[in-house]
Amino acid sequence: MSLIANIIRPEVLDLAAYHVPDSVGFVKLDAMENPYTLSADLQQALATRLAKVALNRYPVPSYSGLKTAIKQQLGVPQDYDLVLGNGSDELISMVSMACAKAGAKVLAPLPGFVMYAMSARLAGMQFVGVPLNADLTLDLAAMLAAIAEHRPAITYLAYPNNPTGTLYEVADIEAILRAVGDTGVVILDEAYQPFSPVSFMSRLGEFDNLLVMRTVSKLGLAGIRLGYMTGSQALLEQFEKVRPPYNINVLTEAAAEFMLEQVAVLDAQAAQLCAQRGVLTEALARLPGVTVFPSAANFLLIRVPQAEQVFAKLVKQKILVKNVGKMHVLLENCLRITVSTPEENSLFLDAFSASL
Ligand code: PMP
């Protein structure tokens, strides 16, 4: 054991590895995946495309074809460059690595996406979490006070937020961007943008410290691992320096280019999931004792008495949701449920009602 103590940094010793439960054979409603698989025709066309990929060659370092496809199909202004990540998780690590000066801090509302804190600590930065209000809306006064006190190098706002599904007020985000000013960057993490009516992508020109980060994961391509981030060229140039060379592999690149040609299919699925979100919200809200929080994402956060027992009963019936009750005091007795197909949503609703 002394070898471990001798070589591993204390921040790493203190961390728990990102835990992903075994889900084989489960109705999987825990990870905000798109439940729809590719049609047989698309599978065939994709196979033909991937068969032509030169596996013996490194990717073309500029990724210019992929970047153009992302900009054209996913609503990024043409005059902005992109930094690509192996999932937005890698973008978060890259930003941490670039900004981890001695004493630099990272700030985000809590409960929020766990990788913000984890990545900050791994990079040796202090993480400052600012609790949301009890109704899970943003506590703007607390955010502004924390920004004034800590002058964070990085402020994350997931828009909409995970695990709450909440959309913060546009005016609150503007106030945070102004308060941070030129002492830090504000990263609007729009991972759930395919299900949300709003985005800050069109506001990039107004704020030098604004970065917009997105992923193709929730749109239906979680398996290929691809995230992208945009903002001022001066900032992107610095993050580009810490991007691992060839971090997007040729299969991801080719699969993403192919699927972006078919983006209408994915958009239609997102629209179906938004409709199902409404159906599921209404059905859950009718159940006695269940609170459903408003969501602009492809999942619902609900509060239910005895959530631990409900979760365990669902697991027995091979339905996996996310038990977030221990993540933060504000989430006591809360479960997070990914919106799925009408069939899987019904299976969940039946098992859930029976478990109450
Ligand atoms: N940001 C938020 C808010 C998320 O919820 C997630 C996934 N849970 C991510 C980023 C990471 O997405 P990925 O690494 O799959 O791109």
- Which of residues 244, 261, 278 is at a domain's end? 261
Residue 51: inside a domain, yes or no? no
30 lines ligand 1 (CB under 6 A): no
Q: Are both 114 and 139 inside the same structural domain?
A: yes
* C-alpha 4 to ligand 1 mean position (Å): 30
Q: Are both 231 and 200 inside the same structural domain?
A: yes
Q: Are both 326 and 283 inside the same structural domain?
A: yes
Q: Are both 253 and 128 inside the same structural domain?
A: yes
Q: Are both 145 and 293 inside the same structural domain?
A: no
Residue 47: inside a domain, yes or no? no
Q: Are both 214 and 274 inside the same structural domain?
A: no
Q: Are both 290 and 182 inside the same structural domain?
A: no
- Which of residues 219, 237, 261 is at a domain's end? 261
Does the predicted model carry a pTM greater than 0.90?
yes
Residue 257: inside a domain, yes or no? yes
Q: Are both 275 and 251 inside the same structural domain?
A: no
89 lines ligand 1 (CB under 6 A): yes
Side-chain-side CA neighbours of 331 within 13 Å: the count stands at: 21
pLDDT at residue number 15 = 85
Residue 171: inside a domain, yes or no? yes
Q: Which two tokens stand for residue 310?
A: 């409900």
191 lines ligand 1 (CB under 6 A): yes
Q: Are both 173 and 317 inside the same structural domain?
A: no
Mean pLDDT of successive 10-residue segments in the chain (356 residues)?
90 84 91 96 98 97 96 97 98 98 98 96 96 97 98 98 98 98 98 98 97 98 98 98 97 98 97 98 97 98 97 97 97 98 98 96
* C-alpha 220 to ligand 1 mean position (Å): 13
Which atom in ligand 1 lies closest to the alpha carbon of residue 113? 3
Domain that holds residue 68: 56-261
- Which of residues 242, 261, 280 is at a domain's end? 261
* C-alpha 88 to ligand 1 mean position (Å): 6
Q: Are both 89 and 24 inside the same structural domain?
A: no
189 lines ligand 1 (CB under 6 A): yes
113 lines ligand 1 (CB under 6 A): yes
pLDDT at residue number 1 = 65
Which atom in ligand 1 lies closest to the alpha carbon of residue 158? 3
Which atom in ligand 1 lies closest to the alpha carbon of residue 90? 14
Q: Are both 86 and 166 inside the same structural domain?
A: yes
pLDDT at residue number 53 = 98
90 lines ligand 1 (CB under 6 A): no
162 lines ligand 1 (CB under 6 A): yes
Residue whose CA lies nearest to ligand 1 atom number 2: 191
Residue 144: inside a domain, yes or no? yes
* C-alpha 179 to ligand 1 mean position (Å): 26
The CATH code of the domain that includes 127 is 3.40.640.10
Residue 209: inside a domain, yes or no? yes
Residue 50: inside a domain, yes or no? no
* C-alpha 191 to ligand 1 mean position (Å): 6
Q: Are both 86 and 234 inside the same structural domain?
A: yes
The CATH code of the domain that includes 14 is 3.90.1150.10
Residue 46: inside a domain, yes or no? no
pLDDT at residue number 130 = 98
88 lines ligand 1 (CB under 6 A): yes
- The total of structural domains in the chain comes to 2
pLDDT at residue number 14 = 87
